[in-house]
Amino acid sequence: MPGTDPRRIAQQRIEILFNKAKETYSADPAQSRRYVRLLRRIAQRTRTKLPTHVRRGICRGCGTVLIPGVNSHTRVRQRREPHTATTCHLCGRVHRIPLRTRT
């Protein structure tokens, strides 16, 4: 079809799947992880980058949606360089995001 951009469609579907994964986590964590696998697969097949809020909202260790207070916690740390550390309660993986921009 003229005018349809596969990457734009992929971004829309990734957003929809991420929102569904967040909604269904409390009722069915396995279904939520399935949505995450699907959105990652869509991104890989269309060679699109995941949006920042999606990348930071998914655990790279176990593939669950990170919901603060439910299955993860986020803290600001000062060791080494100032950064935020998000820890997954299921697998224990820590994701660090620097607070200062590198020059």
Q: Which domain holds residue 85?
A: 6-98
* Nearest one of 79, 85, 82, 42 to 66, comparing CA atoms: 85
What does the pLDDT look like over 82-103, one tens digit per residue?
Answer: 999 999 999 999 999 999 776 6
Tell me if residue 58 falls in helix, strand or coil: strand
Give me the pLDDT at residue 100, please: 79
The residue with tokens 């992929």 is: 10
Query: Is residue 16 included in any domain, yes or no?
Result: yes
- Residue 1 in domain: no
Number of domains in the chain: 1
| Burial classification of residue 39, based on how many CB atoms lie within 10 Å of its CB (0-12 exposed, 13-18 middle, 19 or more buried) | buried
* Tens of pLDDT, residues 66-86: 999 999 999 998 887 899 999
Task: Give backbone dihedrals phi and psi of 51, rounded to 5 degrees, phi first.
Answer: -60, 155
Whether 103 is in a domain gets the answer no
Task: Tell me whether residue 23 is in a domain.
Answer: yes
In the three-class reduction of DSSP (H, G, I as helix; E, B as strand; rest coil), residue 28 is classed as: coil
